[in-house]
Structure 1
Amino acid sequence: MHDTLRQHIEKILPLSDEEFAFVYSHFTLKRFKKHQFLIQEGEEVKYAFFVISGLLKLVHTEEHTGKQHIVSFAMEDWWESDFYAFYTQTKATLSLECLEDTEVFCVSADDYKKLLDGLQKMERFFLEKANFGFLAAQRRILSLLTSNAKERYEQLIQQYPTLTQRVPKSLLATYLGVSRETLSRLYT
């Protein structure tokens, strides 16, 4: 398992064995079952998660209507959390749920700070990950603002081809902001 984390980090920067041992000491391995929550709205967000295996969905639920908005999916080699709540140490406004049995490495806010303070390379690593996350979020917002349903679906297939085989159509429809019926027409 620890090789997965090391390979992920070393896609951005090399680490000596001693540096990786320091990094690894700040993570905890956790396993979750399908439908289990890693984060629930209104609760404290203790961790940011690196997905080793499995699939997660990050969701915001409207308080008055109960309508769900899927913010993102996270699969192997991705990071996920309610990052606003994690960084500001406020209550979650998003829920993170397993769509499959999932294994993650968790880093607490305190351990995250210790990593940044203790190894400057990790500042660069997390900055790169944050930048790529920001770019993906910006691309998603622009897609929602400027693309029709068919274009958004095609973009999703192009960017994440395996996601459509792992996620039920009803959840893909919610993520794309279309009805299940509209997605079924696009799917054929």
Structure 2
Amino acid sequence: MNSGLREHIEKIIPLTDVEFEHVLSHFILKKFKKHQFLIQEGEPVTFDFFVVSGLVKSSHTDEAGKQHIMQFAMEDWWISDYQAYFSQTAATLMVDCIEDTEVFCLSLENRERLCADLHKIEHFFRKKSNSGYIALQQRILSLLNSSAKERYVKLLGQYPSLFQRVPKTLLASYLGVSRETLSRLSS
């Protein structure tokens, strides 16, 4: 299990055993059950989460009560409400478990300490942030410029396992379509 985090980090930077033990000492391992919240809207955001096993989603519910899925996160992915995490303000998103989930939790204080202790880790987080910015830009452009069918095909091609793990209503919300439209797209 610890090796999953190490392998993830070492895709970007190499670590000695001593360095990895130092990194690991700054994380807390937690388990959550299906439907449990990692983050609730309006609450402080204490952690950035690295998904060891399971599947979670971040979402926002608008004033009309419609849920908008922002992101899914499965094994080897990071998730949080980053606006609230970095600015230490109340969450505007909810993050909850679609499956039983195990995560490594990293507080902002420990993240800052790690980055100060190991330049390599600061480099790692910079690279991860850059990848996240790129993915977010691509998602926004896809929502603006692609048809529902194009978004569906792209998601299916990139993450086929999501279609076995995520209920269709959540996939429809992520794609910005109705459940009925998703059924038509998938037939």
**CA shift for structure 1 position 4:** 1.0
Secondary structure, aligned partner of 2:143: helix
Aligned to 1:31: 31
Aligned to 1:186: 185
1:90 matched to 2:89: yes
Aligned to 1:106: 105
**CA shift for structure 1 position 183:** 0.5
1:47 matched to 2:56: no
Moved over 2 A (4+): none
**CA shift for structure 1 position 80:** 0.3
The alignment of Structure 1 onto Structure 2 pairs a total of residues equal to 187
Q: How many Å separate the matches in 2 of 1:115 and 1:75? A: 24
1:166 matched to 2:170: no
* RMSD, aligned α-carbons: 0.6
Q: How many Å separate the matches in 2 of 1:2 and 1:181? A: 41
1:148 matched to 2:154: no
Aligned to 1:128: 127
**CA shift for structure 1 position 119:** 0.6
Q: How many Å separate the matches in 1 of 2:98 and 2:115? A: 31
Aligned to 1:13: 13
Secondary structure, aligned partner of 1:70: strand
Q: Could you tell me which amino acid in structure 2 is paired with residue 35 of structure 1?
A: H
Q: Could you tell me which amino acid in structure 2 is paired with residue 50 of structure 1?
A: F
**CA shift for structure 1 position 179:** 0.6
Q: How many Å separate the matches in 2 of 1:171 and 1:107? A: 27
Q: Could you tell me which amino acid in structure 2 is paired with residue 185 of structure 1?
A: R
**CA shift for structure 1 position 14:** 0.3
**CA shift for structure 1 position 21:** 1.1
Q: How many Å separate the matches in 2 of 1:137 and 1:120? A: 26
**CA shift for structure 1 position 48:** 0.2
**CA shift for structure 1 position 186:** 0.6
Q: Could you tell me which amino acid in structure 2 is paired with residue 39 of structure 1?
A: I
TM-score normalised by length of structure 2: 0.99
Q: How many Å separate the matches in 1 of 2:80 and 2:102? A: 14
Q: Could you tell me which amino acid in structure 1 is paired with residue 15 of structure 2?
A: L
Q: Report sequence identity in percent.
A: 63
Runs of at least 5 residues in structure 1 that lack an aligned partner in the other structure: none
Aligned to 2:61: 61
**CA shift for structure 1 position 89:** 0.3
Runs of at least 5 residues in structure 2 that lack an aligned partner in the other structure: none
Cα shift readout 1:66-113 (whole Å, capped 9, x = no counterpart):
211100000000000001110010100000000000000000111011
Q: Could you tell me which amino acid in structure 1 is paired with residue 87 of structure 2?
A: T
